[in-house]
Amino acid sequence: MWAAFGPPLFWGMSMQYMILRRADKGTESGGLPVAEAARLLASLQPSASAVRLTLDHGKATVEYGPFADPAEMIAGFGIIQAESKQAAIEVLRDYPASEALELELRESGCPGGCAQIHPANVPDPKGKRFAVLLRASDALENEVPVPQLALDTLDAHNAKEAAAGVLLAADGLRTSARGARVKIAKGSFSFIDGPFTEIKEMIAGFWMIRVATMDDAIAWARRNPYPCGQYVEVEIRELFDAGAFTPELQAAEEQMRSQQLDAGLRAQFAAGR
């Protein structure tokens, strides 16, 4: 759905893939270049303002950034539609890279089918946007099934939060065995197919929310009914405000986000991603 990459493909005509732009020293020191940021659904602020939240059988542990290893983080993500993984890889040949970088391509959605969310149309929204990134685990990576009741509970929670104007988007990621990693450098383009072994570096799903502060985002993440068991790790990242872009890039960012939300990003990650 990157407009710069050609005509849009609409929901139902093809498969949906998430593009994760891996972090590096450059993004950690200042963020994504505006040409990239305007083409992504979410451009994330450096980890200096991030939080890692661990929930272990009801006990919450909060770790504040910055975090030492950029390779374990992402700097932004977007959504594209393509007929196949190979077709999605070909789309990435036109990614607006100004320097060497790594992208991770992951099929989105859930193995057994997911409900969709329908974000509320808030005329003058207040607050900041945050991404709550679910860290992968062996069970999620192997797509171990979870109880249907847990998924139904999450589905209902997502619908309520979307209706309240808090939840803006959400989706899950299939196992990395269905994905690929793309490396782009000046004059070169290469990729490798999954699966990948660095579980702690991977994301299994996300929620995009709008709340007033990071403390509110932490509180939201603590009460989110994750269906993947009693041990959960998430990373909470504030998004850059589109107001930091030029007027042209602001318009591009708003159009991109509207296209993604109107398409109905699926609200829950699958049984056991």
Q: 200-255 pLDDT, tens per residue?
A: 899 999 999 999 999 999 999 999 999 888 999 999 999 998 654 445 545 544 55
CA 243 to CA 227: how far, in whole Å?
35
Using 50, 70 and 90 to split pLDDT, how confident is the model at 113? low
Sequence-ordered list of residues with C-beta below 8 angstroms from that of 249, at least 6 positions apart, any chain: 34, 37, 38, 242
- End-to-end, the C-alpha distance of the chain in Å comes to 24
Q: What is the pLDDT of residue 140?
A: 92
* Percent of the chain surpassing pLDDT 70: 82
Q: What is the pLDDT of residue 87?
A: 96
Would you say residue 9 has pLDDT above 60?
no
Q: What is the pLDDT of residue 247?
A: 53
Would you say residue 11 has pLDDT above 60?
no
Q: What is the pLDDT of residue 262?
A: 40
Complete DSSP assignment for 190-234: EEEES--S-GGG-EEEEEEEEESSHHHHHHHHHHS--SS-SEEEE
Q: Please report where in the chains the tokens 């009741």 appear, as a residue.
A: 149
Q: In whole numbers, what is the pLDDT of the chain averaged over residues?
A: 84
Using 50, 70 and 90 to split pLDDT, how confident is the model at 101? very high
CA 30 to CA 214: how far, in whole Å?
19
Would you say residue 7 has pLDDT above 90?
no
What is the arithmetic mean of pLDDT over 87-99? 92
pTM: 0.85
Q: Which domains does the chain have, with CATH numbers?
A: 3-262 (3.30.70.1060)
Q: 122-177 pLDDT, tens per residue?
A: 888 889 999 999 999 999 999 998 888 988 899 999 999 999 999 999 999 999 99
Cα→Cα distances 12→81, 179, 227, 264, Å = 9, 20, 26, 11
Would you say residue 6 has pLDDT above 50?
no
CA 242 to CA 255: how far, in whole Å?
11
